[in-house]
Amino acid sequence: MQPVTYQPIGVVESPFEAPEDVPRPGAEPVEASGRVLLEESYEPGLQGLAEFSHIVVLSHLHEVTDTRLTVRPMGGDPVGIFATSGPPRPNPIGQSVLRLDGIEGTRLSVSNLDLIDGTPVLDIKPYAPKGPNSDEIEIGWMADL
């Protein structure tokens, strides 16, 4: 396979300085606010985004230094990394659903922020659920949390 390379479109401003500072895991959203700061050239891409209550931010988890194929979430039974949203992945790509509190130029104010300060942003998408109804979804071992 050929390598894939992306150029970040922005960066996260967060109260969390290190990965261990971010509260994890849990069913409740993280109660932290911050900003996503995009490069100015991307401002036209924000047109229409303010109509959404939440956004999906895809990021590069730049502080991840190890890769594990099995983990023990919350000290429980071992599961494969692909059965979790944990960071020690072969490609440390983060996916965060954040509340969009406002847009000012290329500065997006967000809450429920679960990323650390300086996290490179790869993409932003509006949160618009697609796919099966929630009553058709099974969440495996996470249902016990």
Pairing outcome for strands 54-60 and 120-126: antiparallel
Phi, psi angles (nearest 5°) of residue 136: -100, -5
Indicate the pTM of the whole model.
0.89
Q: What angle do CA 92, 9, 108 make, to 5 degrees?
A: 100
Q: Does any domain span residue 140? A: no
Phi, psi angles (nearest 5°) of residue 133: -65, 155
Q: Does any domain span residue 62? A: yes
Total tally of structural domains belonging to the chain: 1
Q: Does any domain span residue 42? A: yes
Q: Does any domain span residue 113? A: no
Residue 61 maps to which CATH number?
2.40.30.70
Tens of each residue's pLDDT in the chain, 145 residues:
999 999 999 999 999 999 889 887 565 677 899 999 999 999 999 999 999 999 999 999 999 999 999 999 878 899 999 998 888 999 999 999 999 999 999 999 999 999 999 999 999 999 998 877 777 778 787 777 6
Q: Does any domain span residue 130? A: no
Print the domain residue range for 42. 1-18+28-107
